[in-house]
Amino acid sequence: MIGLIFGETHFPIQILKKVKKKHLKYLIIDLTKGRFNKDKHSHNVSIGQFGKIIKILKDNKCKKVLFAGKVRKPNFSKLRLDFKGLYYIPRIIKSSKLGDAAILKEIIKLTTFAISKDELKPALTGVLFRFSDNGLTAVATDGHRMVRYIRNDFISKEFSGDVIIPRKFLNLMNSLITTGESVQIWMGDNNLTANVGSDTVFTRIIDERYPDFEGVIPTDNTNELVVEKDALLSAVKRVSIFSNRSTHQIALEITDNNVTVRTEDPEKASKAKENLPAKLNGENITVGYNAAYLKDVLMHINSQNIVIKLKTPISAGLLFPESQQPNSDITMLLMPIRLND
């Protein structure tokens, strides 16, 4: 027996048709205003009647439960609650303030800037979403920079594996969703459907194999720099004005208690440098970066201080927030460029 907990939109009707077609035993918990009253297996229940919902599912020995459709956020001050409702209401209110949309918006914000625009590399023109029992990992890269964002509080009950979602779809989703909404996503063989409020959005997924991103993340970067993010970002913005228009090359000269951001463009006979206080655990090192890429990475790290881990001037650098947010782990990778001696 499968318990179908249905809200609004057309999707529950499609689910019900497929359940009937497969001759599965089912019952419906109808959270709408009697939309499924004509079905003899339907139970019209208020969202606040948790005790009744649980009792119906247990009495009918439901081994599986499927949620589908939109349930409007109730007015908690007017909601009639049974005993179980009184127990769960603090958790409901807390969850309703955030919603699934907040997580998705954060993923989109932190990853899409690193998506490649090179159509000759189709796998890199979207964000990789890796669903597993341990959580959700989102990855984007254009070959020069990479972001890996992990949410260990995400639970995927019916799907595990990799899917590459195009940039256009993610940008559209970002414009549709608002904080506090619930977002429902369903996977097909080569397509994806998302339900946001009363809107349903379809997209084809990118049917390509994503590169081994774990293999390019260095594990032996022993030189660790801690610096104030806003100070470094401001210095990079100012100094980069004088950098070469083609290479946007800047250098970070890192010593024990100082980092110098400098650039020089022989073509324009211009140069600039700024000194910032910093803390280095390791050897002095000078590394070059594309200023535009470095600015992008710094702007997408939400932390007062950042940690930069380096090995050599020609190996990939890793950037992290000094303290990670609860249930999340973000890693930024930036490839260096060779400095003109």
Quick one: pLDDT at residue 314? 94
- The fold adopted by the segment(s) 2-96 is Rossmann fold (3.40.50)
Sheet of 135-141: strand order equals 161-166, 126-132, 135-141, 145-151, 328-334, 317-321, 305-310, 223-228, 279-281
The pLDDT assigned to 165 comes to 95
Query: What distances in angstroms separate CA 182 from CA 27, 212, 271, one per listed residue?
Result: 23, 32, 51
CATH H-level, domain 217-334: superfamily: DNA Polymerase III, subunit A, domain 2 (3.10.150.10)
Angle at 130 between CA 126 and CA 136, to 5 degrees: 115
Q: What does the pLDDT read at residue 216?
A: 94
Domains 99-204 and 217-334 agree in fold: yes
3-state secondary structure of 159: coil
β pairing state of 26-30 and 42-44: parallel
- The angle formed by the CA atoms of residues 5, 6 and 9, to the nearest 5 degrees, is 160
DSSP string for 196-254: ETTEEEEEE---SPPP-SGGGS-S---EEEEEEHHHHHHHHHHHHTTS-TTT-EEEEEE
pLDDT tens, position by position, for the chain (341 residues)? 888 888 877 778 888 888 888 888 889 888 887 888 888 888 888 766 767 777 888 888 887 887 777 665 555 454 455 555 544 444 444 444 334 577 888 899 999 999 999 999 999 999 999 988 878 999 999 999 999 999 987 766 667 889 999 999 999 988 888 755 667 777 777 888 887 777 788 899 999 999 999 999 999 999 999 999 999 999 999 999 999 999 999 999 999 999 999 999 988 889 999 999 999 999 999 999 999 999 999 999 999 999 999 999 999 999 999 998 888 899 999 999 998 76
Task: List the chain domain ranges.
Answer: 2-96, 99-204, 217-334
Alpha helices, DSSP H, located in the chain: 11-21, 50-59, 83-96, 99-111, 167-176, 229-240, 291-299
Q: 99-204, which class in CATH? A: alpha beta
